[in-house]
Structure 1
Amino acid sequence: MITSKQKRSFMLKQFLPLSHIQYVDSVENWQQAVQLSAAPLLAEQLIEPRYVERIFQIHREIGPYYVIAPQIAMPHSRPEDGSNAQALSLVVLKQGVNFGSDNDPVQLVLMLAAKDSESHLEMLSAVAELFSDEEAVQQIIQSTTVSEIAEIVHRY
């Protein structure tokens, strides 16, 4: 029998494959961090360029709504803004970057794309479980390779 945690683990592995994880020393600004997190999803046409533009537009209008916790940003927009699939992409920044949030500096940037307003909820639950584990978050931040990061993330 497959447990709910095993199902979620499968989901994170499926929607956050090794090719969607990046480790970067530093970025010039938050915009570059968001662009980096979008790059694998754009390359695979899982999102459209207008999806990223919409994230920037909303940020200009209401601020960094997607900086969800200390050190963690989860840029996303609505499915109709150019998301073609359910997908995740993670950038781990050795040196954090400021987004203009009380939770700055950000070191984990997880791009979320959903194909509709409901199908991503289980995937989001697994992400929440990962991010609520402070020890795992710190292990990810302290990792220095993509494979180390993936090993931690894929435990969930």
Structure 2
Amino acid sequence: MNASSVELAFGPGDVRLGLEARSWRDAVDQAGALLVSRGATTAGYTRRMLEVIETYGPYMVVAPGVALVHAKPGSDVRHNGAVILTFPDGVDFGHRRFDPVRAVVGIAVRRPDEHVTIIAAIARLLDSDGTIDALLSATDADALARGVAERLAEAGIAVDAPDAPHTA
């Protein structure tokens, strides 16, 4: 799959900063609810994200303070989408090295080939100098969304910012 042919819905309305979560399940539920409210998935996708972590453990905690939550493509994904939520107090996902998680990046992807392409692009983004610090210290959702969208576009992902305004 050529990355430039992969589209991802992501914009300011897909970012929520300064949230609280009682547990990793609560944090994943919040990411899933935002994916649902943005039209990317149905509630079934959120259940599948939770099941993946319950089955395989906290492997989705991919960097210090950052979890990249997702499930395999399925009929409960309406379109490719991403969300970012921050939890300043941190959430314990059970990862020995990278807890507490202060940012959850949730993704939903329709097709397996696009799934690999988008996860790889986000992983490269997170591996870039300063990206994690910027993510964890963000105070402006619009600026964070613009910066992430620009970096994904540089990686060849066609980012489509939905029109819905940022609400929190």
Please report the TM-score for the alignment, with normalisation by the length of structure 1.
0.82
8 Å contact kept, 1:47–1:85: yes
Q: CA deviation at 1:137?
A: 1.2
Larger RCO: 1 or 2 (CA < 8 Å, sep 6+): 2
> Secondary structure of 2:150's partner?
coil
Once the two structures are TM-superposed, the CA of residue 25 in structure 1 deviates from its matched residue by 4.0
- Residue 138 of structure 1 corresponds to 133
Deviation, structure 1 residue 119: 2.1
Q: Which runs of 5+ in 1 are unaligned?
A: none
Instruction: Letter of the 2:60 partner, please give it.
Output: Y
Q: Which amino acid aligns with 2:140?
A: T
What's the counterpart of residue 84 of structure 1? 78
What is the RMSD computed on CA atoms of the aligned residues?
Answer: 2.4
Q: SS of the residue aligned with 1:130?
A: helix
How far apart are 1:64 and its partner, in Å?
1.8
Task: State the distance in 2 between where 1:115 and 1:130 align.
Answer: 21
Distance 1:61 1:121, change over 3 A: closer
> Does the Cα contact within 8 Å between 1:37 and 1:111 map onto a contact in 2?
yes
Unpaired runs of at least 5, structure 2: 152-168
Give the 3-state SS of the residue equivalent to 2:74 in structure 1. helix
- Structure 1 residues 58 and 120, CA, compared in 2 at 3 Å: closer, same or farther? closer
Q: What is the TM-score normalised by the length of structure 2?
A: 0.77
Pair 1:40–1:25, CA change in 2 (3 A): closer
Q: State the alpha-carbon separation in 2 of the partners of residues 52 and 116 from structure 1.
A: 17
Residue of structure 2 in register with 1:129 after alignment: 124
Could you give the per-residue CA deviations for residues 73-105 of structure 1, whole angstroms, max 9, x where no partner exists? Answer: 111111126222211111122221111112101
Tell me, in whole angstroms, the C-alpha distance in 1 between the residues paired with 2:89 and 2:63: 17
Q: 1:129 to 1:61 in 2, by over 3 A?
A: closer
Paired residue secondary structure (2:40): coil
Q: How does 1:28-107 map to 2 (within 5 A)?
A: 28-80=22-74, 82-102=76-96, 103-107=98-102
* Length, aligned pairs only: 149
Deviations 1:107-156 (A, max 9, x none): 11011111010123433333122100241210121121212322431330
AA at the equivalent of 1:124 = I
Q: 1:22: how far off?
A: 0.7
SS in 2 for 1:84: coil
Give the conservation status (yes or no) of the 8 Å contact 1:131–1:137. Answer: yes
CA contact (8 A) 1:79 1:114 kept: yes
Residue 38 of structure 1: SS of its match in structure 2?
A: helix
Question: 1:118 maps to what in 2?
Answer: 113
